[in-house]
A = this chain, B = another copy of it.
Amino acid sequence: MPISPIRRQRRKAARPGELLAAALDCFVAKGYAATRLEDVAERAGVAKGTLYLYYTNKESLFKAVIQEGILPVVAENEAIAAQHNGSSFELLEKLLDNWWRRIGCTAYAGIPKLMVAEARNFPEVAAFYYEHVIARGRAVVGMALEQGMARGEFRRLDIQTTIDVVIAPILMLLIWRFSLACCQDGSADATLYLRIHLDLLRQGLRAAQV
């Protein structure tokens, strides 16, 4: 029984993912320009030319890294928000926590730093990222804030701006880990960081108890 064609099939199907994973690692570690396609190929265990069978050039590989990298996650938080019943702050907690667990602990964790570093060189990719990740992420957080304010659970603040303030520490946590964290002595404890962020938010957002 010749299993090999099936395996080859499997192999072929797995290729794009392997290539993207290798590319993501390289891009995050060294930036777009300093990443040599030869390194990506080597890390993926293929020859340089093989990359071009799957992606037309370096830029399209970069786009794919960003785009594929976020597809697994974008919808989840929206589902969480839709299904949630409970306090608005509990929803915020769930959202930030989920985002951390589903992005922060995965291979995709490096994408925000990568996107930030290259946004100005790849405006379309940045626009895509903004639209499909940032905007949707902001929208969900915005919903939680609106709901909380409507209910009287949160005090009234400008929502669009508050969204940014709420999200910033999470983004910063990721960016930090892929940039200056190497200079720190003890690597910061992400769990503690998130807990304190939420602690401050809980009390900070709370509406004045009459």
A interface residue numbers (CB < 8 A to B): 29-34, 113, 115-121, 123, 126-127, 129-131, 134, 157-158, 160-162, 164-165, 168-169, 171-173, 175-176, 178-180, 182-184, 188-189, 192-193, 196-197, 199-206
Contacts and interface: CB of A to CB of B under 8 A. Distances in A.
Nearest to A29: B120
A34 B193 CA distance: 34
Given A31-B33, A164-B176, 6 more contacts: A31-B121, A115-B179, A115-B180, A117-B117, A157-B199, A161-B193
Of A123, A199, A202, most B-chain CB atoms within 10 Å: A199
17 contacts: A29-B120, A31-B121, A113-B117, A116-B179, A117-B117, A120-B182, A123-B182, A126-B182, A130-B180, A160-B188, A161-B189, A164-B173, A164-B176, A165-B196, A200-B200, A203-B204, A204-B204
